[in-house]
Amino acid sequence: MANPSEKQTPKTAEDIYREALKLSVDEQVKLSCMLNQGLQDPDSWYATPEIAQAWNQEIRRRLKLRAEGKSKDVPGDEFLAQLREKYSL
C-alpha cells in the first residue's frame, strides 16, 4: 500500500503542466523538446509497426474516397447523435 505522505504523481496534462512550470527554464526547454520529438514520429503512437502500417493504409484509403467525392464529412455532433440513435445510448 502506498504511503499517504508520499506525493501522488500528476494525472492530467494540466497537473503535469503545473509541475513543469516549477522546473528551471533549461529543464522546461528539454521537456518541450522531448514531447515534441514524440509527436513528430506518428509511427511511435501505435503499439506495433503492423498497426501503424494498417492505420496509414486506412487513412490513405479514406483520403482517396474523399478526394473522389465518394465520402462526405459528418460533423461530430451529428455523428454522435446517429450513434446514440442506432445503439439507444
In a domain, 57, yes or no: yes
17 is a domain residue: yes
Number of separate domains in the chain: 2
86 and 60 in a single domain? The answer is yes
Report the chain's mean pLDDT, rounded to a whole number.
Answer: 82
Q: Is residue 81 part of a domain?
A: yes
Q: With contact defined as beta carbons under 8 Å apart, do 30 and 22 qualify?
A: no
Structural domain for 22, as ranges: 12-42
DSSP secondary structure string for all residues of 12-51 = SHHHHHHHHTTS-HHHHHHHHHHHHHHHH-GGGGSSSHHH
52 and 38 inside one domain: no
Query: What is the per-residue pLDDT for 7?
Result: 67
pLDDT of amino acid 4: 55
Greatest pairwise CA separation for the chain in angstroms: 60
Give the position of cell 501503424: 52
Contacts of residue 18, defined as CB under 8 A and 6 or more positions apart, other chains included, come to: 10
